[in-house]
Structure 1
Amino acid sequence: MTVRRLTTAGAAALVLVLGLTACGGDGGGSSSSAAPASASGTGAAGAPKASGSITVFAAASLKETFTALGATFEAANPGSRVTFNFGGSSALAGSINSGAPADVFAAASAATMKTVTDAGGAAGTPQTFVRNTLTIAVPKGNPKHLAGLADLAAPGVKVALCAKEVPCGAAALTALKAANVTLTPVTLEQDVKGALTKVELGEVDASLVYRTDVRADSGKIDGVDFPEAAQAVNDYPIAALAKAPNKDGAAAFVAFVRSPEAQQVLTAAGFQAP
């Protein structure tokens, strides 16, 4: 197994995505998009228009792409403002079920979305808009020469995982079980960005994160693909919320995320079409 690096075409595509991004970063938390210089990109033909504030709770792994899409959405819908709350999907779902005001939820797993739908929190049936797979994030150059999941259990190798309650943690456990690998991580993080940051800071030798997160941080991190990732693919569902303060805005944003234009941005960042 060799270290996976971005191709020239993939890097160019990601530059295009991040060029649209109004704000970024590696952690979770809240952010608000800002309109790009040009509004030439618009939403799907016939999609509902929106105005006012739209609050989107979204998985941390969507931070770069959704921030870019939020800016494009605002440009296509004058008078709208999209505010994001990025974090671990399970924590976001818990906040929604506890009554936190939000218009849209985009989760990193169907199981997490189900906790919201089971509580009556979704308006309609959630729709899968992308899929994502895991890779092993390692420092640039892969100094430990890690080639697969079995290497993560070697003596002296420090590994960060997402907590099992978080979609990236559940996927990691599925992949490790498929590889018949048992390991004890030195830390369990509450979202995928936290696990990736541990590698960036040199606090661990590797972490299991989504391929999209490695691509977004390719200047600092390399990714090592492994075959068992195919058995731990995460569907990402999105839904307008039943108690959305801005129901029209929620419907419009969901329709935009599922549009061909938004899909092009998402797949350029490494997500898989549903």
Structure 2
Amino acid sequence: MTRSVRRTRRMLQLAGAGAAALMALSACSSSDGDSSPKSGTSTAASPKLSGTVTVFAAASLKESFTTLGKEFEQQHPGTKVTFNFGGSDTLAASITGGAPADVFAAASPKTMAIVTGKKDAVGTPATFVRNQLEIATLPGNPDKVSSLKDLTKPGLKVVLCDKTVPCGAAAQKALDASELKLTPASYEQDVKSALTKVELKEADAAVVYKTDVKSAGGKVEGVEFPESAQAINDYPIVLLKNAPNAETAKAFIALVQSADGQKVLSRAGFLKP
């Protein structure tokens, strides 16, 4: 083989090796490009929650929601949860009247419907707990109240929640189921007001929720009655349409519905949804 032929073959081999190297480099670059985020995806962390969340909640949720509010603030530094507790009907009227709020937690679907009916809520309200009625009497139960019928005894001073309030509507439902007529000493605007009447010995008994009897500790004595099973209230929660702090509000609702939130509510005496 001549020197010229060998030189030509050597040049062709070098050219082939160079092309192979270029192809490998190109493949490597293509592979590196595939490892980057695809168009439309993001690897950024969720935005940090901040600001104040205003929660309008049924009076019977006061103790458990206050605990959850503190827990939420610890989990998300820079946030603050403020509450407006009261009768669900009054809160609903405030919301539809334009009161600024992020979250509404009602003690009945009926009162929640006041808000959803005005299209002041986002999405469908979710039931997060249920609650059952119980009779609250003076410590030691001096009047020997053992049934719903006992509340109709002459001379016994009994208070009920107003019929427009979920606890009052539930009490009336239980009375109707038992075919009992009861004229209370007063109708109270929310369940805590009814309970306070007994705590202050301004009333002998009140029909409230089990959770309220439990939160009162030794200030009252609870008496269960079977008719309460026919008047259990579902508690719905929802994000409000014009929520000033929607993202943080969603996170608070998520906490309420979470396993940790349900533990707090169960300890307070609420029933699972």
With structure 2 as the length reference, what TM-score do the two structures score? 0.82
* Alpha-carbon distance, 1:47 to partner: 9.9
Whichever structure has more helix as a proportion of its residues is: 2
What's the secondary structure of 1:219's corresponding residue? helix
State the AA in 1 paired with 2:126.
Answer: Q
Tell me, yes or no, if the aligned pair for 1:97 and 1:119 is still in contact at 8 Å: yes
State the AA in 2 paired with 1:177.
Answer: D
Equivalent in the alignment of 1:197: 196
What's the secondary structure of 1:203's corresponding residue? coil
Per-residue deviation, residues 81-124 of structure 1 (Å, max 9, x unmatched): 00000000000000000000000000000100011001001111
Question: Separation in 2 of the partners of 1:186 and 1:240?
Answer: 37
Per-residue deviation, residues 13-34 of structure 1 (Å, max 9, x unmatched): xxxxxxxxxxxxxxxxxxxxxx
| 1:109 aligns to 2:87 (yes or no) | no
Runs of 4+ in 1 over 2 A off after TM superposition: 46-50
Tell me, yes or no, if the aligned pair for 1:48 and 1:255 is still in contact at 8 Å: no
Say which structure, 1 or 2, has more relative contact order (CA 8 Å, 6+ apart).
Answer: 1
How do residues 16-55 of structure 1 correspond to structure 2 at under 5 angstroms? 50-55=49-54
What's the secondary structure of 1:127's corresponding residue? strand
Tell me, yes or no, if the aligned pair for 1:158 and 1:204 is still in contact at 8 Å: yes
Tell me, yes or no, if the aligned pair for 1:168 and 1:209 is still in contact at 8 Å: yes
Which segments of 5 or more consecutive residues in structure 1 lack a partner in the other structure?
Answer: 1-45
* Alpha-carbon distance, 1:48 to partner: 8.5
Tell me, yes or no, if the aligned pair for 1:65 and 1:266 is still in contact at 8 Å: yes
Question: Separation in 2 of the partners of 1:101 and 1:263?
Answer: 27
Per-residue deviation, residues 50-95 of structure 1 (Å, max 9, x unmatched): 2101000000000000000000000001110000000000000000
Q: 1:242 to 1:141 in 2, by over 3 A?
A: same
What's the secondary structure of 1:228's corresponding residue? helix
Equivalent in the alignment of 1:143: 142
The percentage of counterpart residues that share the same residue type is 61
Per-residue deviation, residues 148-184 of structure 1 (Å, max 9, x unmatched): 1111011111100000000000000001111111010
How do residues 90-169 of structure 1 correspond to structure 2 at under 5 angstroms? 90-169=89-168
Q: Say what the alpha-carbon RMSD is for the aligned residues.
A: 1.3
* Alpha-carbon distance, 1:49 to partner: 5.7
State the AA in 1 paired with 2:61.
Answer: L
The count of corresponding residues between Structure 1 and Structure 2 is 229
Question: Separation in 2 of the partners of 1:220 and 1:169?
Answer: 21
* Alpha-carbon distance, 1:191 to partner: 0.2
Equivalent in the alignment of 1:24: none
State the AA in 1 paired with 2:209.
Answer: Y
With structure 1 as the length reference, what TM-score do the two structures score? 0.82
Equivalent in the alignment of 1:206: 205
State the AA in 2 paired with 1:79.
Answer: G
Question: Separation in 1 of the partners of 2:136 and 2:47?
Answer: 39
| 1:229 aligns to 2:215 (yes or no) | no
